[in-house]
Amino acid sequence: MIDYRSDNTGRAAPEILEALVRANHNTALGYGADEWTAALQQRFSELFETVVRVFPVATGTAANALSLAALGPSWGIVYCSEAAHINTSEANAAGFFGGGIKLAPVAGEHGRIGAARLAEALASIGPGQLHRGQPAAVNLTQATDLGTVYSIAEIGAVAEVAKARGLRLHMDGARFANAVARLGCSPAEATWRAGIDIMSFGATKNGGALCDAIVVFAPELADGLAVQLRRAGQVWSKMRFASAQLIAYVEHGLWLEMARASNAVAARIAAGLNVLPGARLLAPVEANEIFLEMPAGVMNALEADGFQFYRRSATLARFVCRFDVTDAETDALVASLRRHCALPAKAAE
């Protein structure tokens, strides 16, 4: 079996687990008052070229929901892409942690939120109109949930519309490493310099193990968030074991190295799909995910060949590439796809 189901089915980078094990000496104060967590603040502030506050959390759902709750108020409207993970896959955690925050999907291309459509949505709620709640924040998924990547300019365009109305920006960076690897820019350019106030900094999907993080760029958000995290049961008492993972994740550029690897797998598959008659990419392949429309019969044939992947609908397959997929595994998928998709769709069914 060759697994393209998700990036969370994969292994953790050995460097990360080794760092966790290395942290197991001496005693250290609990709840983040340890030297590893202090070092994490320092390391991420260097990485982002500004003083940031970093809060390790157990999951991306926690990172997203608690970030959005910090951008409140509880009657706030959070604009997001229709495809956004917070909208489709987190059991309305944002609505729960935010005390009634409402998500408002905004259309856009290939998983992005469209700046013009956002402006329209905002214009539809005039000042003093209370009956729909109040616009509060914008959520951008980077890379997007359809495997594309916002350019810096695209983030800036959304930010401009949002800031003009006083809204805050949250980036769901579950695959932030893949986006930065694709853009070739600095983490700072991709975030606070483009207007992001707070982000979910993903590690799990890119070779991490048991933690992601919230990175706070707008300093006034951090103190309240710290209490909220404690109340949310997201502050490990033995925090050093989480902080050590996150330090190792970014040390020596490991995170970008892994992201480049998984992006490369996806790019190699996409290149191999070029002009296949029986399949169509739903969106450009810009990170480590491939959304491919194809007949159900082709999906069946791929599974029979030993490939694992998710069916998003009867005719849409998703392939997610992990950092440790081998060239052989990559080429095997391409070969199988070419074999089955070269046939006319009808015949394949």
Q: Which of positions 213-252 make contact with a copy of itself (CB under 8 A)?
A: 224, 226-228, 230-238, 241-242
Nearer to a copy of itself, 78 or 179 (CB): 78
Give 128: exposed, middle or buried? Use CB within 10 Å, 0-12, 13-18, 19+. Answer: exposed
Does residue 296 touch a copy of itself according to CB under 8 A?
Answer: no
Nearer to a copy of itself, 24 or 186 (CB): 24
Site for a copy of itself in 160-219 (CB under 8 A): 204-205, 208-211
How near is the Cβ of 211 to a copy of itself at its closest, in Å?
8
Count the residues of the shown chain that bind a copy of itself, applying the rule CB under 8 A: 72
How near is the Cβ of 82 to a copy of itself at its closest, in Å?
12
List the one residue out of 323, 262, 307, 268 whose CA is nearest residue 4.
307
| Length, in residues, of the chain | 349
Nearer to a copy of itself, 9 or 186 (CB): 9
Is the preceding peptide bond at 143 cis, omega within 30 degrees of 0? yes
How near is the Cβ of 10 to a copy of itself at its closest, in Å?
6
Nearer to a copy of itself, 34 or 154 (CB): 34
Alpha helices in the chain (DSSP H): 14-22, 35-48, 60-70, 85-88, 93-97, 115-123, 152-164, 176-183, 187-190, 222-231, 240-250, 254-272, 296-304, 327-342, 345-348
List the one residue out of 155, 121, 160, 156 whose CA is nearest residue 141.
155
Nearer to a copy of itself, 12 or 162 (CB): 12
How near is the Cβ of 113 to a copy of itself at its closest, in Å?
19
Spatial distance between the Cα atoms of 153 and 157, rounded to a whole number of angstroms: 6
Nearer to a copy of itself, 135 or 147 (CB): 135
Site string for a copy of itself, 41-80 (x = CB under 8 A): ----------------xxxxxxx-xx------xxx-----
Spatial distance between the Cα atoms of 244 and 276, rounded to a whole number of angstroms: 45
